[in-house]
């Protein structure tokens, strides 16, 4: 066993990120290998705010919620093509998922996965 080994993976695979914007509480996980983001069941989705310019989020909302309105609770995990698609799916509008999703330490997804300064720590 090598006790001097340094961990090269900066983030645990099961790191959960969240958003609490506009009173919406949602959680999810980013898959670095695929670039996809999974919004976890139990997350809130604000259907009161229309999606702008993200057809993947529009299609997912339409398929899952049809004509429902207001805030709804996600019954099952939903995988979307990117962190931004996931943020738009949950919050509506036009969102930058790389800065919207944060971990328990308040670090953005962008900082955790793409920041050069963080990767060299």
Q: pLDDT digits over 8-44, tens only?
A: 444 455 789 999 998 999 999 999 999 999 999 999 9
Cα dist from 97 to 5, 89, 120, whole Å = 33, 10, 23
Place of tokens 């800065």: 99
pLDDT of residue 79: 96
Closest CA to 95 of 113, 80, 75: 80
Distance CA 58, CA 34 (A): 21
Task: List, edge to edge, every strand of the sheet that includes 78-80.
Answer: 17-19, 26-30, 37-39, 78-80
For the cut 50, the answer to whether the pLDDT of residue 85 exceeds it is yes
Q: What percent of the chain has pLDDT over 70?
A: 84
Distance CA 25, CA 102 (A): 12
């Amino acid at each position: 066993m090598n006790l001097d080994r340094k961990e090269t993976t900066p983030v645990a695979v099961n790191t959960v990120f969240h958003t609490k914007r506009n009173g919406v509480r949602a959680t999810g996980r980013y898959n670095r290998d695929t670039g996809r983001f999974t919004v976890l069941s139990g997350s809130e989705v604000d259907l009161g705010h229309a999606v702008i310019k993200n057809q993947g989020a529009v299609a997912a909302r339409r398929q899952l919620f049809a004509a429902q309105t207001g805030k709804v609770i996600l019954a099952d995990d939903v995988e979307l093509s990117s962190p931004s698609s996931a943020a738009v799916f949950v919050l509506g509008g036009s969102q930058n998922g790389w800065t919207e999703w944060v971990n328990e330490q308040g670090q953005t997804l962008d900082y955790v996965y793409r920041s050069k300064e963080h990767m060299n720590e």
